[in-house]
């Protein structure tokens, strides 16, 4: 079972591609560029991650739905800004059998224009609002940039998208903040390091008033957009004529928002916690939280195996997801290597000396630290270790971000830090588009936008034009 192991930080892109296949997560060798396969182990991770998202949404008044995959071109074209941005990215269905279609269909690149015609039918009065729907689907975008497994797909899967409708601008605005908090909870619960920024106008979602985006800081110093929240104002409501009757009997357009997390939300977990041995899964989403491995010894085989079975059964009864690895064609060392690659949160080893001492050895996947735990205390011991991992992963993510966001006072300093791939740079900005574009060009990096997750007191001049600054703005090398 020879697996190629790329260093996590040095060869990050190669590491990711290899680990996805070696750990049985995602196979990108399907004969269509930009489509791939969730393998059995990867699918279990995917399912657990989605469950965390579903729980968060279900508990905050969202209802899961399922809308069609095909969009008639007439619907897609209804919101002018939206269609302009997306039509060039669509895959088009033009034939039904041998018959050319009168109206061609787009495979949904996203679902605002799929949902809108139905909202028009469903929403009558203020009593129908707010309405918060979501679906988990695949969307299709003919990406022209280099595709990458999970991260930049043409068949994007999973794509979790929420769409909400409100009676007033204030309620939509509040929903955007609520969505932001939901996503923060999600990324925090799996220890993903991110920043949240308000995208510049030229980079917002097509048809939105504004876009707030989560960016993951990858180990190679680049950022990856891993989630977005859009305030759509009344743009789609007006384009699709979606109105409701107010309490006073007037007809008003509704206000809408949408927000989404794709497979990148899963990739973020793998990327954030990987190391040279493979992936590291937070217990919350790990398909296997504990693996029990016997360390055989001549003459004690039977007792050791029995102890392992007993420990595994006890932990299973206590509700942990447990694997008992009794394969006898592999050495314990090979088994350790196998489960480390797959990111199993905790390993329990039992050898002859442990048996004599009435203990088991518990090894944490995140820091590989070993700790003996009394056989009788196994459930509370594993419970504590599980909590410690979750806590430490979150704390590491926060420290990681703190250490890699830099404030500098000039374009040249920003440029030299970005050259060294140190992370995210914040500089003062007057807010003018021209200065934003000029900054992007001079530092050869992407403007992520204005910080949305920190308090800022602004006192100084724009690093480009020298006029009074209104905000900090973030720049970084981006995927």
Residue 226 vs 397, nearer CB to ligand 5CA? 226
Q: Which range touches ligand 5CA (CB under 6 A), out of 149-157, 172-180, 283-291, 423-431?
A: 149-157
Residue 234 CB: number of other CB atoms within 10 A? 17
226 binds, among ligand 5CA, Zn ion, none (CB under 5 to 8 A by kind): ligand 5CA
465 binds, among ligand 5CA, Zn ion, none (CB under 5 to 8 A by kind): Zn ion
Which tokens in the block code for residue 204? 């917002």
Buried b vs exposed e over 178-198: b needs ≥16 C-beta within 10 Å?
Answer: bbbebbeebbebbbbbbbbbb
The least CB distance from residue 432 to Zn ion, in Å, is 5
Q: Is 136 in the site for ligand 5CA (CB under 6 A)?
A: no
Q: CA-CA distance, 375 to 364, in Å (whole number)?
A: 17
Q: Is 379 in the site for Zn ion (CB under 5 A)?
A: no
The answer to whether 399 and 296 are in contact (CB under 8 A) is no
Residue 304 vs 463, nearer CB to Zn ion? 463
Residues ≥6 apart with Cβ < 8 Å to 34: 143, 147, 152, 153, 154, 155
Q: Is 449 in the site for ligand 5CA (CB under 6 A)?
A: no
Q: Is 225 in the site for ligand 5CA (CB under 6 A)?
A: yes
> By C-alpha distance, which of 130, 213, 202, 215 is closest to 165?
130
Q: For the segment 30-69, give every residue that binds ligand 5CA (CB under 6 A).
A: none
The least CB distance from residue 226 to ligand 5CA, in Å, is 5
Task: State phi, psi for 382 to the nearest 5 degrees.
Answer: -65, -40
C-alpha neighbours within 13 Å on the C-beta side of residue 238 = 10
Residue 38 vs 320, nearer CB to ligand 5CA? 38
Q: Is 464 in the site for Zn ion (CB under 5 A)?
A: yes
Q: CA-CA distance, 230 to 173, in Å (whole number)?
A: 10
Q: Is 226 in the site for ligand 5CA (CB under 6 A)?
A: yes
Task: State phi, psi for 475 to the nearest 5 degrees.
Answer: -130, 150
Q: Which residue is nearest to ligand 5CA (CB)?
A: 260
Q: For the segment 89-118, give every residue that binds ligand 5CA (CB under 6 A).
A: 110, 112
Q: Is 264 in the site for ligand 5CA (CB under 6 A)?
A: yes
Q: Binder to ligand 5CA among 143, 388, 440, 452 (CB under 6 A)?
A: 143
Q: Which range touches ligand 5CA (CB under 6 A), out of 66-74, 222-230, 246-254, 462-470?
A: 222-230
> By C-alpha distance, which of 198, 170, 226 is closest to 453?
198
211 to 42, 230, 276: CA distances (angstroms): 30, 5, 36
Residue 149 vs 294, nearer CB to ligand 5CA? 149
Burial of 49 (0-12, 13-18, 19+ CB in 10 A): buried
Q: CA-CA distance, 475 to 222, in Å (whole number)?
A: 10
Q: CA-CA distance, 11 to 399, in Å (whole number)?
A: 22
Q: Is 336 in the site for ligand 5CA (CB under 6 A)?
A: no
Q: Which range touches ligand 5CA (CB under 6 A), out of 69-77, 256-264, 327-335, 339-347?
A: 256-264
Q: Binder to ligand 5CA among 115, 156, 315, 477 (CB under 6 A)?
A: 156
Radius of gyration of the chain, Cα coordinates, nearest whole angstrom: 25
Q: Binder to Zn ion among 156, 307, 430, 447 (CB under 5 A)?
A: 430
Residue 153 vs 475, nearer CB to Zn ion? 475
Q: CA-CA distance, 392 to 92, in Å (whole number)?
A: 47
Q: Is 164 in the site for ligand 5CA (CB under 6 A)?
A: no
> By C-alpha distance, which of 142, 92, 152, 86 is closest to 113?
86
Q: DSSP E strands: which ranges in 341-399?
A: 346-350, 359-364, 370-374
Q: CA-CA distance, 179 to 411, in Å (whole number)?
A: 34
Task: Count the site residues for ligand 5CA by CB under 6 A.
Answer: 20
Q: What single DSSP character describes residue 275?
A: B
Q: Is 187 in the site for ligand 5CA (CB under 6 A)?
A: no
Residue 109 vs 451, nearer CB to ligand 5CA? 109
Q: For the segment 342-361, give every residue that binds Zn ion (CB under 5 A).
A: none
Q: Is 465 in the site for Zn ion (CB under 5 A)?
A: yes
The least CB distance from residue 170 to ligand 5CA, in Å, is 21
Q: Is 258 in the site for ligand 5CA (CB under 6 A)?
A: yes
Q: Which range touches ligand 5CA (CB under 6 A), out of 99-107, 171-179, 220-228, 440-448?
A: 220-228
127 to 118, 167, 239, 243: CA distances (angstroms): 17, 10, 22, 12
Q: For the segment 434-463, give every residue that binds Zn ion (CB under 5 A).
A: 435, 462
Q: CA-CA distance, 180 to 177, in Å (whole number)?
A: 5
Positions in the binding site for ligand 5CA (CB under 6 A): 110, 112, 141, 143, 152-153, 156, 161, 205, 225-228, 230, 258-260, 262-264
Positions in the binding site for Zn ion (CB under 5 A): 430, 435, 462, 464-465
């Amino acid at each position: 079972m020879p697996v190629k192991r790329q260093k996590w930080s040095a060869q990050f892109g190669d590491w990711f591609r290899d680990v996805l296949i070696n750990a049985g997560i995602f196979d990108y060798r399907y004969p269509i560029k930009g489509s791939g396969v969730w393998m059995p182990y990867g699918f279990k991770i995917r399912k657990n991650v989605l469950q965390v998202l579903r729980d968060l949404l279900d508990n905050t008044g969202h209802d899961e739905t399922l809308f069609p995959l095909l969009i008639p071109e007439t619907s897609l074209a209804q919101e002018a800004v939206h269609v302009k941005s997306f039509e060039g990215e669509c895959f088009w269905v033009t034939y039904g059998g041998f018959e050319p279609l009168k109206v061609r269909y787009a495979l949904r690149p996203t679902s605002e224009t799929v949902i809108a015609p139905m909202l028009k039918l469903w929403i009558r009065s203020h009593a129908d609002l707010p309405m918060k729907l979501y679906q988990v689907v695949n969307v299709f975008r003919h990406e022209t940039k280099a595709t990458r497994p999970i991260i930049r797909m043409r068949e994007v899967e999973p794509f979790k998208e929420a769409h909400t409708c409100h009676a007033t601008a204030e309620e939509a605005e509040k929903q955007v903040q609520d969505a932001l908090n939901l996503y923060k909870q999600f990324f925090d619960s799996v220890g993903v390091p991110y920043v949240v920024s308000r995208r510049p106008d030229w980079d917002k979602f097509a048809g939105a008033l504004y876009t707030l985006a989560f960016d993951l800081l990858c180990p190679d110093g680049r950022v990856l957009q891993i989630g977005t929240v859009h305030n759509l104002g009344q743009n789609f409501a007006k384009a699709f004529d979606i109105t409701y009757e107010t309490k006073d009997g007037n007809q008003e357009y509704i206000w809408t928002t949408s927000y989404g997390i794709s497979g990148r939300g899963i990739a973020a977990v793998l990327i954030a916690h990987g190391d040279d041995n493979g992936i590291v899964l937070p217990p919350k989403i790990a398909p296997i939280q504990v693996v029990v491995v016997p360390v055989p010894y001549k003459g004690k085989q039977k007792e050791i195996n029995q102890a392992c079975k007993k420990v595994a059964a006890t932990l299973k009864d206590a509700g942990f997801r447990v694997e008992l690895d009794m394969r006898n064609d592999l050495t314990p060392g090979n088994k350790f290597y196998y489960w480390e690659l797959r990111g199993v949160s905790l390993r329990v080893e039992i050898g002859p000396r442990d048996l004599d001492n009435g203990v088991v050895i518990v090894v944490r996947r995140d820091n590989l630290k070993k700790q003996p735990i009394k056989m009788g205390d196994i459930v509370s011991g594993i419970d504590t270790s599980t909590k410690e991992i979750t806590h430490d992963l979150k704390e590491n993510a926060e420290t990681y971000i703190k250490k890699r966001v830099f404030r500098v006072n000039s374009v040249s300093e920003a440029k030299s830090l970005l050259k060294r791939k140190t992370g995210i740079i914040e500089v003062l900005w007057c807010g003018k588009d021209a200065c934003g574009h000029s900054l992007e060009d001079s530092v050869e990096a992407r403007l992520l936008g204005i910080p949305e997750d920190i308090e800022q007191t602004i006192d100084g001049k724009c690093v480009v034009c020298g006029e009074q600054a209104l905000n900090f703005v973030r720049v970084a090398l981006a995927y």
